[in-house]
Amino acid sequence: MNRIAFLVLASIAGGLLVFLALILFWGGVATLAALLAWWRPARPTCRQGGCRAKDYALVGSPEQTQVDRERWDRWLPERRGRLVRCRCGDHYLRDARHRRFLWVDAQGTPHPYRYHRPLGREWLPDHDS
């Protein structure tokens, strides 16, 4: 094998190795992020006690109401999380970054409701709720 052929083959092999290493690295990062998202608790029971995790609708979904619209507009400047509405009509804010679930009143002001510990799966009462 001449020198040029060897260099070409070596760089192809090196490129493939780097490519594989990148796939493994980002695959690992994506898997870890997915695991963390899966581990986080679902939404807590609402304040009225009638709605479970799957009874919340994401505000901004097709069945958005006028009230949703107004609260969304009031909340929007803060951009702290996801605004959801339970079947009772109450609005909540899921702030995943700070591990909080806040109740949003008719004025659009968020109040502490529930929080969970880092890596915790249980919703605990937040202060003054």
Residues that bind Zn ion (CB under 5 A): 46, 48, 50-51, 86, 88
Please classify residue 53 by burial: count the beta carbons closer than 10 Å to its beta carbon, then call 0-12 exposed, 13-18 middle and 19+ buried.
exposed
- Closest CB to Zn ion among residues 31, 65: 65
Q: How far is the CB of 89 from Zn ion (least distance, A)?
A: 8
- Closest CB to Zn ion among residues 87, 121: 87
**Residue bearing tokens 């094998």:** 1
- Closest CB to Zn ion among residues 43, 116: 43
Q: How far is the CB of 40 from Zn ion (least distance, A)?
A: 20
Return phi, psi of residue 64, to 5°.
Answer: -65, 135
What is the dihedral sign for C-alpha 77, 79, 81, 85?
positive
- Closest CB to Zn ion among residues 56, 75: 56
Q: In whole angstroms, give the CA distance from residue 39 to residue 121.
A: 7
Q: How far is the CB of 35 from Zn ion (least distance, A)?
A: 29
Rg over alpha carbons for the chain, rounded to the nearest Å, is 23
Q: How far is the CB of 46 from Zn ion (least distance, A)?
A: 3
